[in-house]
């Protein structure tokens, strides 16, 4: 037989595009269109409905960037359409290739009820399934003119303060039409069969069977009367559509989804509208298609609907009760997991799962993080302690170098906890259920022969939209179709239960799920990251002192509502495009203002609690919020400070520079203002490599191949400029307690002022760097070349630390050329090490080199600032204050302690008497992460601790108040059955603790 495949395929493509698809909507009658421009920010629907409307017509331009235009649409269904299915086609000027990234609309009735949303793949509104003729139509469309910002070009449209005022869109169509159901079904039949056919091998007989059926169906289509011939054409396809799938066909559990970024190329306020638009469409699909299930994560987004669209929220609650609308994930937002602090990660689950329980009575069992930029090795334990069972991600498929070896596996965290994890082989969280994607999922699935099923979230996402009726049609046709994977719409929990039962002995992946991409997100938007770190620290302080005051001071009321509200604000800003710095300028401008407000509120809560605790008096009391004693002040208590016994001395260095000495460290600053020696006097050991200089600012070009704010590519290292030119250097603040050397440098259009301080009794050199940054596409780092032979370094992560190799033996290690650390990174050889600490920096890199003398230099660098141009062209421009420290002779325990001290500064308050800690732990390896009152407001005290050094620990927790019971709890403060980690309290009130390495322990102390 002659090979005529290409002829039939080309014929199908043309007939579909030019004849069949245009015949889905026929007999168009234009609607009357009027408009009103909402001034400023979006207005409530009632205001939009009551506004004065003016004339408008199809073809008119509308919508400046970030504006809202209301359209009033009126018309009458022609009498001759009686008995026909009638829809309106409302095209605001859509680009069909960019759902979620352009203009969108929400249709309201005249009384304000929401009808459905409009987007490129949802530009229709059903008027009647069987029209009577003469029906009057009146709708109001709230249209958002969001600018298109996806092309990675430098633009100032990403902030309303800098965007233009020219209209961005042109009304394309506003018609009443007849919807030809049989034609629409023919389109779905042909598209599903074509997509399947082209995925089959040219030697597969099934491919030719489909080809001949399509050819025959096209013969049956009367191009002059497509609606009249559609049924006959469909009849010729019925046989190939009825052929069942192979017994061994891959099984895909499809779940409707709309991954909506809580902020990204749009501000938070627009996300509020996006989630409402998407949810309204999903509810309509559920009404029309009982088999349709839709999964929605992010409690924050549902809370927005509850707050701003209460009538929509009530409809959602009903669909949740019916089982069609499925809450998943259990977190407040789909947060970043690299940089979020340990306690904040616990609160993501506390407030997320609590919302689902309180509002819907549902305990979510899966963790849903498809799009975050890598996953901390602390996550499995946190997942388990939240009461969750399964974990889902997608983003690891984006890795540039190494293909992840599993799709279904057990993920093991730093403490040994394992969680059953799935990584969908469809390689997208926005599947369209097309034949290409389904075939890819089946081919790509790496558990063949052991497992047989995977999950596919389908629906338009990122900017929202969700599944469409066309995607549901694909699911129906591919439920049991020869040559295709079997597709079944089902809940994620059902998938996980089946996958676990089938593959309980899945392989184990231990450690972090490192994304070999988007490494620049550890650094971009430094003020957002600083705001997050400081908010986390301030929340710790506020809760500790408020809980202490609530227990000790009868008149003090614990501010439950304020703290919960503030926590939720901070958790929202940990979303994986806000904290990582990959959102538009508007988002980060608002974040800076929000963090300033959060700081003011938390300072007020802390101040009020401390004053209540200190009482009236004139004594200077130092409040120590850190989990370790310092300066004679106990952890979590207040007392007069004790001066260090040995003063700091300073002298000029021969040849220029200064020498600082406090009896524990001797620090030499040379004539360039660089640290050339940091000598551990107690150990008799130099910490810096011979000939090396620490606190060396270095600048690199920074122009990645793509994803400016997200990425740094390894080739940036090929060019480096050491910033050694000096404007000035002088010693200042010489006191017995501290000596500071102030260094000023200018470079490019920027300036850096550094204060290098050695304090009495300290084993750290503290560096405050004030940068007025005005570079473009540059990367600022600071280097510490250490004389340490380290095969690996330890980086603090949530509730512990993770080790990473310093060598690049394999492609997996080489790919980690930029890494994330929290408060510290530590390099050691047996018996001696060095820590580099910071107060708001996350990006680091570590390299090793063997010197001519045979020694190894391990260089630790902190990534301070970047200057990408997209999506915020002014990223990091302006003034920054960054703090970091060098700690020679530090063990991991010292790094833990010094990291907390740097991030939790003391506060001095005048009062009457010292304040005893609310709780005391007698082992420094066991760190108190949080002290607060219980969420149920019953007055119990919650203490969260963890083992911080990677070893077993036995400790005693001594409450400073009468306790009737001590119970190990999960992150939602519920008792954990079968716990052996907590014993007591004994007669003296002490509680015995037994922790495995890196174990997180939440203890609920019931007040007697």
As a whole number of angstroms, the distance between CA 522 and CA 580 comes to 6
| DSSP labels, 322-380 | HTSEEE-S-SSS-B-SSSS-HHHHHHHHHHHHHHHHHHH-----EEE-SSSS-B-TTHH
Using CB atoms within 10 Å of the CB of residue 83, give its burial: 0 to 12 exposed, 13 to 18 middle, 19+ buried: exposed
Single out the catalytic residue among 123, 261, 371, 845: 371
As a whole number of angstroms, the distance between CA 487 and CA 253 comes to 6
Grouping H, G, I as helix, E, B as strand and the rest as coil, residue 645 is coil
Structure tokens at 102: 């352009």
Helix (H) or strand (E) holding 494: helix 492-502
Grouping H, G, I as helix, E, B as strand and the rest as coil, residue 192 is helix
Using CB atoms within 10 Å of the CB of residue 914, give its burial: 0 to 12 exposed, 13 to 18 middle, 19+ buried: middle
Residue 551 in contact with residue 917, Cβ under 8 Å?
no
**Residues whose CB is less than 8 angstroms from the CB of residue 133 and which lie 6 or more positions away in sequence, other chains included:** 77, 78, 79, 80, 81, 82
Among candidates 667, 835, 642, 635, which has minimal Cα distance to 737? 642
**Residues whose CB is less than 8 angstroms from the CB of residue 480 and which lie 6 or more positions away in sequence, other chains included:** 244, 245, 486
Among candidates 85, 142, 81, which has minimal Cα distance to 108? 142
Matching residue, tokens 């506390």: 350
Among candidates 627, 553, 603, which has minimal Cα distance to 917? 627
970 flagged as catalytic:
no
Among candidates 989, 978, 982, 988, which has minimal Cα distance to 1004? 982
Using CB atoms within 10 Å of the CB of residue 664, give its burial: 0 to 12 exposed, 13 to 18 middle, 19+ buried: buried
As a whole number of angstroms, the distance between CA 819 and CA 845 comes to 6
**Residues whose CB is less than 8 angstroms from the CB of residue 750 and which lie 6 or more positions away in sequence, other chains included:** 771, 772, 773, 774, 775
| DSSP labels, 727-779 | SEEEEEEEETTEEEEEEEEEETTEEEEEEEEEETT-S-EEEEEEEEE--SSEE
Grouping H, G, I as helix, E, B as strand and the rest as coil, residue 209 is helix
Residue 96 per-residue DSSP state: T
Residue 257 in contact with residue 573, Cβ under 8 Å?
no
As a whole number of angstroms, the distance between CA 464 and CA 485 comes to 26
Length of the chain: 1008
Residue 713 in contact with residue 157, Cβ under 8 Å?
no
As a whole number of angstroms, the distance between CA 143 and CA 948 comes to 52
Structure tokens at 379: 């996550």
Grouping H, G, I as helix, E, B as strand and the rest as coil, residue 622 is strand
| DSSP labels, 249-284 | --EEEEEEE--B-SSSSS-HHHHHHHHHHHHHHHHH
Structure tokens at 855: 């020694």
Catalytic residues: 371
């Amino acid at each position: 037989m002659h090979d005529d495949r290409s002829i039939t395929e080309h014929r199908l493509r043309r007939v579909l595009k030019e004849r069949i698809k245009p015949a889905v909507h026929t007999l168009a009658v234009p609607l009357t269109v009027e408009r009103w421009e909402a001034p400023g920010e979006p207005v409530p629907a009632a205001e939009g409905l009551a506004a004065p409307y003016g004339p408008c017509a199809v073809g008119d331009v509308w919508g400046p960037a970030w504006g809202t235009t209301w359209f009033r649409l009126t018309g009458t269904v022609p009498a001759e359409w009686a008995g026909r299915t009638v829809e309106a086609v409302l095209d605001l000027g859509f680009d069909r290739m960019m759902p979620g990234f352009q203009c969108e609309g929400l249709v309201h009735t005249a009384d304000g009820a929401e009808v459905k949303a409009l987007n490129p793949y949802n530009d229709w509104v059903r008027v009647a399934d069987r029209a009577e003729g003469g029906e009057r139509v009146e709708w109001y469309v709230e249209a958002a003119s969001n600018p298109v910002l996806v092309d990675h070009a430098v633009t100032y449209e990403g902030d309303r303060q800098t965007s233009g005022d020219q209209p961005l869109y042109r009304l394309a169509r506003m018609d009443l039409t007849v919807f030809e159901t049989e034609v629409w079904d023919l389109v779905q039949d042909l598209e599903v069969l074509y997509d399947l056919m082209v995925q089959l091998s040219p030697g597969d007989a099934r491919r030719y069977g489909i080809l001949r059926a399509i050819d025959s169906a096209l013969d049956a289509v009367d191009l002059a009367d497509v609606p009249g011939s559609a049924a006959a054409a469909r009849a010729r396809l019925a046989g190939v559509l009825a052929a069942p799938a192979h017994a061994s066909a891959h099984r895909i559990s499809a779940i409707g989804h709309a991954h909506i970024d809580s902020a990204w190329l749009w501000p938070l306020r627009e996300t509020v509208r996006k989630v409402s638009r998407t949810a309204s469409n999903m509810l309509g699909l559920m009404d029309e298609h009982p088999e349709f299930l839709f999964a929605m994560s992010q409690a924050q987004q549902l809370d927005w609907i509850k707050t701003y669209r209460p009538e929509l929220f009530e409809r959602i609650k009903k669909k949740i009760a019916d089982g069609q609308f499925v809450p998943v994930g259990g977190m407040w937002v789909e947060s970043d997991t690299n940089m979020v602090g340990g306690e904040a990660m616990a609160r993501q689950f506390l407030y997320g799962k609590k919302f689902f329980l309180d509002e819907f009575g549902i305990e979510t069992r899966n963790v849903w993080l498809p799009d975050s930029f890598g996953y901390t090795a602390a996550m499995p334990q946190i997942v388990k302690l939240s009461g969750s069972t399964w974990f889902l991600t997608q983003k690891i498929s984006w890795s540039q170098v190494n293909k992840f070896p599993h799709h279904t596996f057990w993920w093991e965290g730093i403490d040994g906890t394992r969680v059953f994890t799935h990584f969908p082989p469809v390689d997208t969280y926005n599947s369209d259920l097309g034949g290409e994607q389904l075939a890819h999922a089946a081919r790509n699935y790496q558990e063949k022969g052991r497992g047989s099923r995977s999950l596919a979230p389908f629906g338009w996402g990122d900017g929202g939209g969700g599944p469409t009726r066309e995607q549901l049609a694909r699911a129906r046709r591919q439920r049991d179709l020869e040559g295709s994977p079997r597709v079944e719409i089902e809940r994620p929990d059902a998938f996980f239960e089946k996958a676990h039962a089938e593959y309980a002995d899945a392989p184990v992946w231990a450690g972090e799920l490192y994304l070999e991409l988007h490494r620049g997100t550890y650094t971009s938007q430094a003020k957002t990251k600083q705001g997050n770190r400081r908010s986390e620290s301030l929340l710790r302080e506020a809760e500790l002192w408020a809980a202490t005051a609530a227990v000790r001071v009868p008149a003090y009321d614990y501010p439950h509502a304020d703290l919960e509200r503030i926590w939720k604000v901070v958790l929202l800003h940990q979303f994986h495009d806000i904290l990582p710095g990959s959102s538009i300028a508007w988002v980060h401008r608002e974040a800076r203002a929000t963090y300033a407000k959060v700081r003011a509120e938390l300072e007020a809560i802390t101040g009020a609690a401390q004053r209540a605790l200190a009482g009236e008096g004139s004594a200077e009391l130092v409040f120590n919020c850190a989990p370790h004693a310092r300066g004679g002040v106990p952890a979590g208590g207040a007392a007069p400070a004790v001066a260090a016994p040995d003063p700091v001395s300073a002298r000029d260095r021969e040849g220029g520079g200064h020498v600082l000495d406090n009896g524990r460290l001797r620090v030499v600053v040379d004539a360039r203002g660089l640290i050339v020696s940091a000598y551990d006097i107690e150990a008799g050991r130099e910490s810096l490599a011979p000939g090396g200089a620490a606190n060396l600012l270095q600048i690199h070009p920074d122009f990645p191949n793509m994803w400016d704010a997200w990425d740094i590519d390894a080739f940036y290292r090929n060019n480096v400029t050491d910033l050694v030119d000096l404007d000035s250097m002088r010693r200042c603040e010489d006191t017995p307690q501290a000596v500071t050397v102030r260094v000023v440098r200018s470079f490019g259009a920027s300036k850096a002022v550094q204060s290098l301080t050695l304090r009495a009794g300290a084993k750290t050199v503290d560096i405050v760097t004030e940068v007025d940054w005005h570079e473009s596409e540059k990367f600022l780092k600071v280097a510490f070349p250490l004389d340490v032979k380290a095969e690996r370094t330890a980086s603090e992560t949530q509730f512990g630390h993770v080790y990473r190799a310093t060598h690049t033996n394999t492609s997996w290690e080489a790919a980690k050329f930029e890494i994330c650390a929290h408060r510290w990174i530590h390099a050691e050889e047996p018996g001696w090490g060095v820590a580099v600490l910071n107060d708001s920096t996350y990006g680091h890199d570590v390299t090793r080199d063997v010197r001519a003398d045979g020694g190894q230099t391990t260089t630790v660098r902190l990534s301070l600032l970047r200057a990408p141009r997209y999506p915020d062209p002014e990223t990091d421009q302006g003034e920054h204050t960054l703090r970091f420290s060098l700690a020679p002779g530090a063990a991991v325990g010292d790094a833990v302690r010094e990291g907390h001290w740097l991030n939790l500064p003391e506060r001095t308050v005048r009062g009457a008497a010292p304040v005893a800690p609310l709780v005391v732990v007698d082992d420094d390896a066991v760190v108190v992460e949080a002290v607060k009152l219980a969420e149920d407001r019953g007055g119990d005290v919650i203490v969260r601790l963890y083992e911080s050094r990677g070893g077993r620990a036995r400790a005693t927790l001594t409450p400073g108040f009468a306790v009737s019971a001590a119970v190990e709890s999960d992150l939602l403060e519920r008792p954990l059955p079968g716990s052996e980690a907590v014993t007591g309290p004994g007669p003296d009130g002490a509680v015995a603790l037994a922790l495995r390495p890196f174990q997180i322990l939440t203890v609920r102390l019931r007040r007697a």
